[in-house]
């Protein structure tokens, strides 16, 4: 990194980077090494978006034979990110060298000719054994996709309140996290109605919790999907990343990458999802198939600090709202997005 570039980075970001470098050096002196942790990505004809992170991970907690592992949320945040690590991504016979960012995050697009559907490739770092990565390849003929929020949409978290957010992120056992009733069935039925469609979980949560989130989705029978999270902490020019810009930026990117796809946008009324989806609809009205908003229960709304205003862009795009997945399923069936016979 050149001095000119470093001078433009927020001082707290530079401090955070030095802290992680110090932790990395200590870990390596103890004989620990880095590993690539892949996350589900996506792609299209001739390309794939590779997503993952390079970390020095803590040792897994011991447990008695046959006993279920109890994983507290804080363990997701004690892994050490390895900044600017060189990663080898192998797709078929082709090997691509990519570089992680300052926080160890890998988010890059590489050329690859893969068949539509879920495909596998490998990632490796520092000569370690390659690990298997997956990506969903969208066929050119696909014209429908789903983007779903996570917090308070598929998982009850009451995230906006700082103390509740801290409890859910750092303290709560991952097995105690509660799915929103009916949402797994709703999403599975949507995917059955529209086979071959991409399923994107778009969240303002940190990449640290991606493995926990993946286990939660699998355990509660949610459909497999690509994950787009963010990196907590300071950016080049501000203390913390903007969750709203993260979501809008990725929606705009999806619109550009898949111009033929119309998206069903699923969120809740406890954060900014309605405003974000409304803004996206104004910019790309032809690429929104519908919007489904999960209304927080009264107690959840209190914990979340209230509800959003509920205003949205007028137009031909159906907006539906209900308190759970079953209610949304009925309303989406009425507007033809779900085939109730599937």
Per-residue model confidence (pLDDT) at position 5: 44
State the pTM of this model: 0.85
Q: Three-class SS string for the chain?
A: CCHHHHHHCCHHHHHHHHHHHHHHHHHHHCCCCCEEEEEEEEEECCEEEEEEEEEECCCCCCCCCCCCCCCEHHHHHCCEECCCCEEEEEECCEEEEEECCCCCEEEEEEECCCCCEEEEEEEEECCCCCEEEEEEECCCCCCEEEEECCECCCEECCCCCHHHHHHHHHHCEHHHCEECCCHHHHHHHHHHHCCCCCEEEEEEEEHHHHHHHHHHHHHCCCCCCEEEEECCCCCCCCCCCCHHHHHHHHHHHHHHHCCCCEEEEEEECCCCHHHHHHHHHHHCHHHEEEEEEECCCHHHHHHCCCCCCCCCCCCCCCEEEECCHHHHHHHHHHCCCCCCCC
Position 322 confidence tier, pLDDT thresholds 50, 70, 90: very high
Average pLDDT over residues 120-145: 97
- Average pLDDT over the chain, rounded to whole? 83
Q: Out of 15-19, 273-277, 290-294, pick the least confident.
A: 15-19
User: Which residues is 134 bridged to in the sheet?
Assistant: 120
Q: What is the mean pLDDT of residues 57-69?
A: 53
66 with 85: CB under 8 angstroms?
A: no
| Residue 36 reports pLDDT greater than 80 | yes
Q: What are phi and psi of 9, to 5 degrees?
A: -85, 140
**Who has greater pLDDT, 234 or 23?**
23
68-77, 249-258, 276-285: segment of lowest average pLDDT: 68-77
- Percent pLDDT > 70 in the chain is 74
pLDDT at 261: 98
- How high is the pLDDT of residue 21? 83
| pLDDT class of 25 with cuts at 50, 70, 90 | confident
In whole angstroms, give the CA distance from residue 251 to residue 284.
10
pLDDT for res 172: 52
The CATH 3.40.50.1000 domain(s) of the chain lie at: 144-334
- Does the domain at residues 144-334 carry the CATH identifier 3.40.50.1000? yes
User: What pLDDT shows up at residue 242?
Assistant: 63
In the predicted structure, residue 275 carries a pLDDT above the cut 60 = yes
More confident residue, 141 or 272: 141
- Average pLDDT on 30-52 reads 95
Grade residue 235 by pLDDT with cuts at 50, 70 and 90: very low
Quickly tell me which residue has 């795009």 as its tokens.
317
Q: How confident is the model at residue 174 (pLDDT cuts 50, 70, 90)?
A: low
Would you say 296 and 269 are in contact if contact means Cβ atoms under 8 Å apart? yes
Lowest mean pLDDT among 100-104, 248-252, 316-320, 338-342: 338-342
């Amino acid at each position: 990194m050149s001095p000119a570039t470093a001078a433009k980075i927020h001082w707290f970001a530079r401090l955070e980077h030095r802290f992680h470098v110090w932790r990395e050096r200590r870990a390596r002196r103890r004989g620990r090494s880095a590993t690539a942790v892949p996350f589900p990505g996506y792609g299209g004809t001739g390309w794939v978006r590779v997503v993952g992170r390079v970390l020095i991970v803590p040792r897994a907690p011991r447990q008695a034979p046959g006993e279920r592992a109890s994983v507290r949320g804080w363990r997701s945040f004690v892994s050490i990110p390895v900044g600017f690590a060189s990663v080898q991504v192998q797709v078929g016979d082709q090997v691509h060298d990519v570089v992680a960012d300052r926080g160890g995050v890998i988010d890059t697009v590489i050329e690859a000719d893969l068949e539509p559907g879920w495909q596998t490739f490998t990632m490796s770092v520092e000569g370690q054994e390659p690990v298997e990565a997956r990506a969903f390849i969208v066929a050119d003929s696909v014209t429908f996709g789903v983007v779903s929020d996570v917090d308070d949409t598929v998982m009850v978290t009451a995230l906006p309140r700082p103390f509740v957010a801290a409890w859910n992120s750092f303290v709560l056992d991952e097995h105690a996290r509660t799915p929103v009733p009916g949402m797994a069935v709703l999403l599975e039925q949507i995917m059955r109605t529209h086979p071959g469609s991409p399923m994107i979980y778009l969240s303002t949560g940190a990449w640290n919790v991606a493995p926990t989130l993946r286990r939660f989705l699998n355990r509660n029978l949610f459909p497999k999907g690509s994950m787009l999270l963010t990196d907590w902490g300071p950016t080049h020019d501000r203390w913390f990343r903007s969750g709203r810009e993260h979501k809008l930026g990725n929606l705009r990117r999806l619109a550009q990458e898949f111009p033929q796809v119309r998206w069903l946008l699923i969120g809740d009324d406890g954060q900014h999802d309605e405003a974000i989806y409304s803004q996206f609809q104004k910019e790309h009205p032809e690429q929104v198939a519908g919007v489904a908003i999960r209304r927080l229960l009264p107690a959840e709304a209190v914990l979340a600090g209230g509800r959003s205003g509920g205003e949205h862009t007028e137009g031909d795009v159906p907006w539906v709202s209900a308190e759970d997945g079953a209610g949304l399923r009925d309303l989406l069936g009425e507007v033809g997005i779900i085939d109730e016979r599937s």
